[in-house]
A and B are shown apart, each in its own frame.
Chain A
Amino acid sequence: MRAMPKWVRSPGPYVALVLLTVALVVLACSGLQRGSASYRTPDAGMGAGGAAAGGSVEIDCGGAEQPVTVSASLPKTPTFPSDQTSFDLDALQCDFDVFSWNVFLALSHSPSGAFGDRGGDNVTTWQVWPDEGDIFLPNGARPPEWKAGDPPPPEPVPAACRGVGQGDEPVLAMIGKQPLLEAPLEPFNSGPLIDVHGFYARFGITVNQPMYQYIWENGLYGQAGQKRFSDSGHAVEFPCGCNGDPTGKSCPEAGQQGAVMVKAAWKVLDVGAGDDPSRFHTVEALVYTPPVGDDPESCERQLVGLVGLHIATKTQSDPQWLWSTFEQVDNAPSRGERPPTDQRFNFFQPGCADCNAVNQTPPEPWNPHDQPVEANAGKSQVVRQIPLTAATKQLNAAVQGLLGGTVWQHYELVSTQWPTDASGSANSDPNAANNWCNALNPIDETGAPAPAFLANTTLETYIQGTVPLASSSCIHCHQNATMAAGQKSFSDFTYLLERAN
């Protein structure tokens, strides 16, 4: 047990945190016009081609205004304004949700800072980060180094995909690296997500440079390295984001970007069947499918649209990470809603008499080589079990108002899961050795997450609900994550390290 100062997610510490962050908030807000839905000139950092949108909107969180800004600047931590008067669950949820939107908008810029420069769409920063297939190579081979400030290493292309595209497409490579069909399935092998046109959704996980570098430096890309790491008494502790300490005692003077991992869900866009690409962030991707039964591996160049996005960000005060989840707005209705029969969804057909039961996995056999699935009973029929809160809907509407003319206006925050009591009675001592992280709460390492349950209809489709352990809770699920090797194998809330060979 580490001995560290008490940090309880309660008004007291937040006031202290406010004092520490006031200067940063003031700096961050300088140049912004205050007021509802205020705008500013798109900053010069945006890339050639121009940004279709740029500006900020002030959100009232606990009596204080919090800016959501269309900016490529990735926040390292949430902020808590000095004039915030309420620190109850709702007010703090608002603070974290604002953080989520700011992270989403920053990562939705291109690496060069462009936003909406391709007909309202753009390449995103997280898309060019390495994915799991780039990190966990066959036989535990060492991937290339990715130094801070350098572009990400080039992505290896599966043999089946070589020559299929034009050479610049990303590979949806979460599939094919593991045994049969694992990657197209959802958590706990709960089945594939199949859209209303009968196509299997695809998933991918990417990580930012600090997270990649930590894996690389510590040899965690292979099982042998993981065992060495563990046997030498080390515990996995990815870098925590912090905003800089002039004394250098609690954070590097210049601050530190913490580990970020992104999990994306994509659907094949069937324009002929009515999918509207202007409502999606799209990419021409090489979609690889592993061998299934008698069907050999295959790779197709397909237009896919983003339908779901998890962003997990590790910060000093949130060593359980912050879990932000977004969806394309047309995914599914919420429980209790009666959508008109002509309303189009990605994963729900209103008034469908022969559809699969709501939120039940499509019947087996599952074979993405046989698609599109023709029978409605073979597709997913998805309903959001926990509707968005009124406050989140209001926040979403305010931010979406900034994003007109871009595809990003068609995305919404579902919620942010955060630890309400991150460190409990632990005496936290963030320093270079522990990657500037506070300690986990010794009696509840999940930190009592709020909301207690959170699911993305595209990523946890079949485990939505409010049953402890059985229903989706980002932190609680990922707290069970381990490495593929080693005795002390807790992997710091990521399942990625299990994929090491």
Chain B
Amino acid sequence: MSDASQDTGQDATPSPADGKTMDAFVQMSALLTGFAAAAIAPSLDPVDLKATLFAAAQRGAGAAFDRLLAQFEKLSGGKPVKSMSPAERRSIGDRLLGLGGDEQPAELVATAQSVMRLWYLGSWYPIDGGDPEGSVASDQAYIRGLSWKSMQSHPMGYSTWSYGYWADPPPPLSDFTGRSVPAAGSGAGEGGAS
């Protein structure tokens, strides 16, 4: 092949969310994952992971995802997660995940769970339970999955630490989550820059 125009295939471009909707997604994700919003969606993100994951969730759950986001916005009243008390965070999280007293539609529970898995594992798991192996949202979604950060580690074959790092203890968990580590039995951690 010699033509510069060969192989001009374009990647599927997700429909962008407006700022308010994206902010709600990030805040809801922070609440569901336990990570600070700034840790999962930094203000300067060269790969714009949140947009990739938003698109994956929208594609995967459709109207249920929109309803879940609307529910979160209503429950949070637009209050950033970092400003919520542990009790508020627990209450909203339980509601989204169907763990509270109020009945939560099963498809919204499944959507909330899939959003959590999406951030942690980088894969979308269908809300109807099909495809138990899930589908990887993108290479960046995989290598930046929160599961690696929770382990204070990195994906196999992809490290952002220099040679010999394994001889030293990893940085504290709070460096990865952006939140202080909660005391035993206290529920969610306080502080952190979300």
Contacts and interface: CB of A to CB of B under 8 A. Distances in A.
Interface of A: 1, 9-11, 88-89, 92, 332-339, 348-353, 355, 357-358, 381, 383, 420-421, 424-425, 442-446, 448-452, 467-469, 476, 479-480, 482, 487-490
B46 A448 contact: yes
B130 interface: no
Given A11-B43, A450-B44, A469 B157 contact: yes
B160 interface: yes
A12 to B, nearest CB: 10
Dominant secondary structure of chain A at its interface with chain B: loop
A443 B175 contact: yes
B51 to A, nearest CB: 13
Contacts of B186: none
In terms of DSSP, what is the predominant structure of the interface of chain B? loop
B47 A339 contact: no
Interface string B1-12: 111111110000
Contacts of B43: 10-11, 88
A468 B8 CA distance: 20
B162 to A, nearest CB: 4
Interface in B30-56: 42-47
26 contacts: A1-B171, A11-B43, A89-B45, A335-B8, A349-B2, A350-B2, A357-B1, A358-B6, A420-B45, A425-B171, A443-B160, A443-B171, A443-B175, A445-B160, A446-B160, A449-B46, A452-B47, A468-B139, A479-B160, A479-B162, A480-B163, A487-B164, A489-B163, A490-B162, A490-B163, A490-B164
B44 A92 contact: yes
B161 A445 contact: yes
Nearest to B47: A452
B42 A421 contact: yes
B43 to A, nearest CB: 5
B139 to A, nearest CB: 5
B46 A442 contact: no
B136 interface: no
Nearest 3 pairs between A and B by C-beta? Answer: A450-B46, A490-B162, A420-B44
Interface of B: 1-8, 42-47, 139-140, 143, 149, 157-158, 160-164, 168, 171, 175-176
A489 B164 CA distance: 8
B4 A337 contact: yes
A336 B4 CA distance: 6
Contacts of B176: 443
The residue in B4, B6, B43, B175 that gathers the most chain A C-beta atoms within 10 A of its C-beta is: B4
Nearest to A482: B163
Contacts of B162: 445, 479-480, 490
A389 to B, nearest CB: 13
B46 A488 contact: no
A338 B171 contact: no
A420 B42 contact: yes
Given A336-B5, A337-B4, A421 B44 contact: yes
A358 B7 contact: yes
A347 to B, nearest CB: 11
B2 A381 contact: yes
A425 to B, nearest CB: 5
B45 A352 contact: no
B2 A352 contact: yes
A399 B107 CA distance: 56
Given A420-B44, A448-B42, A488-B164, 11 more contacts: A1-B171, A11-B43, A88-B43, A89-B46, A335-B5, A338-B3, A425-B171, A443-B171, A448-B46, A468-B143, A479-B160
A194 to B, nearest CB: 15
A355 B6 CA distance: 13
A349 B3 CA distance: 9
Contact of A468 (B3, B46, B140): B140
A425 B4 CA distance: 44
Nearest to B140: A468
Best-surrounded residue of A88, A332, A490 (most CB of chain B within 10 A) = A490
Nearest to A354: B2
Nearest to A451: B46
A444 B160 contact: yes
A333 B4 CA distance: 7
Contacts of B45: 89, 420, 448
A358 B158 contact: no
Contact of B5 (A10, A337, A425): A337
Nearest to A385: B7
A452 B175 contact: no
A424 B5 contact: no
A338 B44 CA distance: 34
A420 B2 contact: no
B50 to A, nearest CB: 13
A425 B42 CA distance: 13
B11 to A, nearest CB: 9
Contacts of B140: 452, 468
Nearest to A470: B139
B44 to A, nearest CB: 4
A358 B4 contact: yes
B33 to A, nearest CB: 16
Contacts of A480: 162-163
